[in-house]
A and B are shown apart, each in its own frame.
Chain A
Amino acid sequence: LRTALNDSKIQWFHIPVGLGIGFLGLVQFYRVSKREREKQEFEGQDAEGKAKKRPRIRHEGPWQVQLMSALPLKALSRLWGKFNELEIPYYLRVPGFKLYSYIFGVNLDEVAEPDLHVYPNLAAFFYRTLKPGVRPLDPNPNALVSPADGRVLQFGQIEGGDIEQVKGMTYTVDALLGQRTPTPSISSASQSDDEGDASVRSRELREDGELVKKDEEFARVNGITYTLPDLFSGGSKFKKHSDLEDQSVKPSAVSVAEVGVDLALGEKPWYDLLSEERRHSLYYAVVYLAPGDYHRFHSPTNWVVERRRHFAGELFSVSPYLQRTLPGLFTLNERVVLLGRWRYGFFSYVPVGATNVGSIKINFDRELRTNSLTTDTAADRAAEEAQKRGEQYAGYAEASYEGASPILHGHALRKGEEMGGFQLG
């Protein structure tokens, strides 16, 4: 090896390499200067008492996190995606994919396509399908099944609006799912465009004959009708709380009590109502998909998706290590929040992207584009317009599936049905 290194002539492609590095440097320089400019504007305005701007979220954590947050992660992720779409020479495909499978523990016996030559590149192999029958559903009809292959990182009951009590992974449900009910301006992402309906519809709750308007009705828990804003936003104070720069701060009893005060449902905090009646509560589960796992995801139960919120956030790695060190990671990363209902009430499904797997695909939502330059710029533009109007930007683009089925007011999914997947880059 030493003689080879010493004797062989090294050829640098200095021009393309130089251009590449220069381009990344320019992108990073533009982002830092834009951030500094916003910061100055923000301080200036506050002193003059103008409408409050959306505070920039600061990523707390050790130097690795600081380093990561300074990198242009989305640009890198898109480059990674482009790199993996490069076609692999025909005869290198089988050894290449076998090496990948050996490193990441992929079981090739389960792959639907026996001939690996069919996959033109790694991106196609990554999004492989499995043979029918290799993932039987749990026979218990009341079971909620895992949406994908992976590892259960966290699960539990939601207490007081927090998803997790373990250090470093505490964030509020609002920060994860978004805070507001849809506004009439949302676009419709239903399957048949001509049925799309861009407005929020009123709907009857037949079970007890009570007529409840849509944006006031979220669930019937213990005989009380809750609205989504009531349960998840709780008024401006809570909103301010969820905008806190350091998401890892657990809400103090006082702040949560303030939430209670804001609720139209009476003086007690919302979560007290839930726990006191001891009949329904909110639960959560976090499933982590490793690089070698099957990356299509399925429906864990029979439910109806009513709307989706696309947060075009960042693309930090979601490795278990970073989940422990970067507080509120899931509220920072790009994610698609699918909101709907199942037999026991509210149900939400949140695929969260990561640096190497930045694209989230939803089979029944042709409008959705994740990890793309257009959605990022659209998100920035929306934030600026909201800022000009003196409003707070909700942080997501919303679409409704109400047009998918006039009866169900949403897109129905069956247990085990494929919903979409994660793609490289």
Chain B
Amino acid sequence: STIVLVFEAPIGEADPQTGAHKGWTWAVEKGQRVKMGQALGYV
């Protein structure tokens, strides 16, 4: 079985002033095994 998540989030990009990454950031790799509760990504 499969679960598909489709969601809206701020676009991930580097902040021009500070250079820090802001917006949506993935925290997984393709094919990675995950456990329930593990981060898929964050804003």
| Stretch among A114-122, A204-212, A273-281 lining the B interface | A273-281
Q: Contacts A153-B2, A155-B28, A286-B2 hold; do A145 and B8 have CB atoms under 8 A apart? A: no
The answer to whether B30 and A153 have CB atoms under 8 Å apart is yes
* Interface of B (DSSP majority class): strand
Residue B19 at the A interface, CB < 8 A? no
The answer to whether B7 and A283 have CB atoms under 8 Å apart is yes
Q: Contacts A138-B39, A285-B40, A298-B37 hold; do A151 and B32 have CB atoms under 8 A apart? A: yes
Cross-chain contact of B5 among A137, A275, A285, A357 (Cβ < 8 A): A285
What is the total of A-B residue contacts with beta carbons within 8 Å?
174
The answer to whether B3 and A352 have CB atoms under 8 Å apart is yes
Number of interface residues of A (CB under 8 A): 63
| Stretch among A34-42, A288-296, A376-384, A388-396 lining the B interface | A288-296
The answer to whether A348 and B43 have CB atoms under 8 Å apart is no
Q: Which residues of B contact A137 (CB under 8 A)?
A: 37
How far apart are the CA atoms of A420 and B32 in the complex, in Å?
23
Residue A300 at the B interface, CB < 8 A? yes
Q: A148-166 vs B: 1/0 string, CB under 8 Å?
A: 1111111101100001000
| Stretch among A191-199, A243-251, A255-263, A339-347 lining the B interface | A339-347
How far apart are the CA atoms of A146 and B5 in the complex, in Å?
10
CB distance from B29 to the nearest CB of A (A): 7
Residue A349 at the B interface, CB < 8 A? yes
**Chain A, residue nearest B27 (CB):** A143
How far apart are the CA atoms of A348 and B8 in the complex, in Å?
9
Q: Which residues of A contact B29 (CB under 8 A)?
A: 152
30 A-B contacts (beta carbon < 8 Å): A140-B39, A143-B41, A146-B34, A146-B40, A148-B3, A151-B32, A152-B40, A153-B2, A155-B28, A155-B30, A282-B6, A283-B7, A283-B8, A284-B6, A285-B4, A285-B5, A285-B40, A286-B3, A300-B40, A318-B1, A330-B2, A344-B8, A344-B9, A346-B7, A347-B5, A348-B6, A349-B3, A350-B4, A352-B2, A360-B1
Q: Which 4 A-B pairs have the closest CB atoms?
A: A345-B8, A143-B39, A138-B39, A143-B42
Given contacts A138-B38, A146-B39, A350-B4, 19 further A-B contacts (CB under 8 A): A137-B37, A138-B37, A144-B39, A144-B40, A144-B42, A145-B36, A146-B36, A149-B36, A155-B26, A163-B4, A280-B8, A283-B41, A284-B7, A286-B3, A289-B3, A295-B1, A297-B3, A348-B6, A416-B37
